[in-house]
Structure 1
């Protein structure tokens, strides 16, 4: 009886995962104030994640070291295989506007803004990181979630980050 329920549950999970994969995620949307990230396919939300942000999460990233997460329209442009975190997807910050604003202010706009998992070797501590803003400006999820996101989000996918 239990074996049959487990098998049925596993089949449902596989079908659901296949539906999400088949959905073709074509946009990532982040709501900083709500600490959520949504994956969309054809305008429909297919998955939502709780996220952590930079240590100073309010406002748009202005310069290197301000620990803010940028706001605006970017692209997931590559993956970093040498990340100090469990997997990472690079966000195309700074864009031309960010660079121009930083130049005008006489500062370095920074870079290396990622969606990533936990620091390497700290997967066991996911409950410590959950619900906290702890990055230097990146968007953080747990390791299981970044593995799923990495499978669902292709390079070239637009990402919109709202305040």
Structure 2
């Protein structure tokens, strides 16, 4: 299955077709980049196979294209924690070109409804927020707490310090 067919089938197919499409995209690695937003959205699928293959594809796809960042920023605000997690992850992979997403990531850092998304937001800010006073301040506050969020926030601050040096 080629990329275009797989992408279209992921968007419009049945659960079985979507799972097959996501599996095909998982095997394409970075060539599946244009399907990133659809893969992220389908992490909320009711079908476990679709979710699993979308996750597998997202693990291999690399950073998103610049034109996808606005869409991923919106998806980072999703109520579904799997969708938000992957959107935040991809924003982090985009690095400093995703700086427009900092306010959204700060919101996710402060939202304790999904600790995994919260921790991933700290990680992403460490990749994106060089020179952002609000991000550094928020990470310092989170680093002063206890638990995994504090650890992720400290690591993010270390990355930002190293990038500024």
What range describes the TM-score normalised by the shorter chain of this pair? under 0.3
Larger relative strand fraction: 1
TM superposition score normalised by structure 2: 0.21
Larger relative helix fraction: 2
The higher radius of gyration belongs to 1
Select the structure with the greater relative contact order (CA < 8 A; seq sep ≥ 6): 1
